[in-house]
Amino acid sequence: NFLLKQTLTTVEATGIPYYLVDETLQKGDTFSTRLNNAFQEVFNLGYAHVIAVGSDCPQRGSQDLLLSRQLVERNNICLGPDTHGGVHLLGLSKQIFEAGILNGISWNTARVFKQVSRFLKKENIQHQPISVYADINSSPDLLTNLNNRTTKNSLPHHPPPQLALLTND
């Protein structure tokens, strides 16, 4: 709950409209299916760009989100790599999403950033990653984060819901 509240505060500070996709709204049996469905649902609302951010990255600030908005609007994509080889943020235009970028990615592994980057290279799509941050996927990650920050609240023991920041042309 602490991480979700912190993420929502960071999102709200940007002034960017957002859509919360919590566990009750996610559809699908796998992370890949749920992520694809969440992106599709938000694009179906008429948005041209969607930035998905998890609530497990306490270092990410509102400046990162504002930069990601600029990058996804300019380049049709924005990636926020994490220290585990995944991504803490993924911004996509509808065009890139429809090209199938989310298909074939080994989500929740250390190969995510490389696989997405490989897809972009194959499709000749330029991208500029934002800051690399550590996300919290395990107890050791939590301890490392607590040693680097002054977090004093309890943290959830289950995967937090995903957020989608929305931008519209």
pLDDT in tens, 39-80: 999 999 999 999 999 888 888 999 999 999 999 999 999 999
The proportion of the chain whose per-residue pLDDT surpasses 90, expressed as a percent, equals 56
Give residue 26's pLDDT band: very low, low, confident or very high (50, 70, 90). confident
> Residue 137: pLDDT above 70?
no
Quick one: pLDDT at residue 61?
93
Q: What is the mean pLDDT of residues 114-123?
A: 92
Give residue 146's pLDDT band: very low, low, confident or very high (50, 70, 90). low
Q: In which residue are the tokens 């505060």 written? A: 9
Q: Residue 60 and residue 5: Cα distance in Å, rounded?
A: 13
**CA distance readout (Å), 140 to 44, 71, 93:** 39, 32, 34
Q: In which residue are the tokens 């819901």 written? A: 161
Q: Residue 29 and residue 139: Cα distance in Å, rounded?
A: 25
Quick one: pLDDT at residue 138?
56
> Residue 22: pLDDT above 90?
no
Average predicted confidence (pLDDT) for the chain: 83
82 exposed, middle or buried (CB, 10 Å; 0-12, 13-18, 19+)? buried
